[in-house]
């Protein structure tokens, strides 16, 4: 299960809406081993594409270094789908590289309603998990 503070949830949705129709992506960092997302980090989609995302490699290095210095880890890795459902595509499964992270998918295909779902992706297997938003 993913437990996420309301503020971070809203920041993800706002980022996804702002970058629509391109895919938005980013990280929620949290203390290592805590499973608690605590810090919102919007990342640059180096692809600037409506169908693909990739973290900018220099930015990723800096952010990962910073997390390491703070004894944090990427608790959540999020990205948006802008014309399809909030479910991991084959591409998402192929490139999933953080077996301990919650993969959050947001769909902005509907103008008014944002789908927000969370998954574990490890060893090519996808399993959806419930999302609890805490105030």
Partner 1 sequence: MAIEVRIPTILRTYTDGAKQVEGSGSTLGELITDLEKRHGGLQDRLIDNGNLRRFVNVYLNDEDVRFLAGLETPVKDGDTVTVLPAVAGGAVTG
Residues at the contact surface with partner 1, assessed by CB under 8 A: 23, 25, 27, 43, 47, 49-55, 57-58, 60-62, 64-65, 77, 79, 81-84, 88-92, 94-100
Structural contact between residues 67 and 29, judged by C-beta atoms closer than 8 angstroms: yes
Give least dist CB 40 to partner 1, A: 16
Shortest reach from residue 46's CB to partner 1, in Å? 9
Task: Please give the angle made by the CA atoms of 10, 59 and 31, to the nearest 5 degrees.
Answer: 55
Q: Which is nearer to partner 1, 13 or 41 (CB)?
A: 41
Report in angstroms how near the CB of residue 134 gets to partner 1 at its nearest.
26
Structure token digits, residue 54: 């990739």
Q: Work out how close the CB of 135 gets to partner 1 at its nearest, in angstroms, rounded to a whole number.
A: 29
Sign of the CA dihedral with 38 first, then 44, 46, and 47 last: positive
Distance CA 46, CA 109 (A): 21
Q: How far apart (Å, rounded) are the C-alpha atoms in residues 123 and 132?
A: 25
Q: Which two tokens stand for residue 8?
A: 């971070």
Q: Which is nearer to partner 1, 50 or 133 (CB)?
A: 50
Output 46 or 133, the one with its CB closest to partner 1.
Answer: 46
């Amino acid at each position: 299960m993913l437990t996420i503070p309301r503020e971070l949830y809203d920041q993800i949705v706002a980022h996804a809406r702002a970058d629509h129709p391109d895919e938005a992506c980013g990280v929620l960092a949290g203390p290592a081993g805590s499973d608690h997302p605590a810090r919102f980090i919007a990342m640059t989609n180096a692809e600037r594409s409506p169908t693909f995302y990739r973290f900018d490699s220099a930015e990723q290095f800096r952010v990962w270094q910073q997390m390491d210095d703070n004894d944090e880890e990427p608790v959540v890795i999020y990205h948006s789908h802008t014309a399809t459902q909030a479910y991991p595509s084959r591409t998402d499964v192929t490139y999933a590289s953080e077996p301990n992270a919650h993969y959050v998918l947001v769909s902005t295909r509907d103008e008014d309603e944002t789908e927000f779902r969370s998954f574990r992706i490890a060893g090519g297997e996808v399993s959806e998990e419930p999302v609890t938003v805490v105030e």
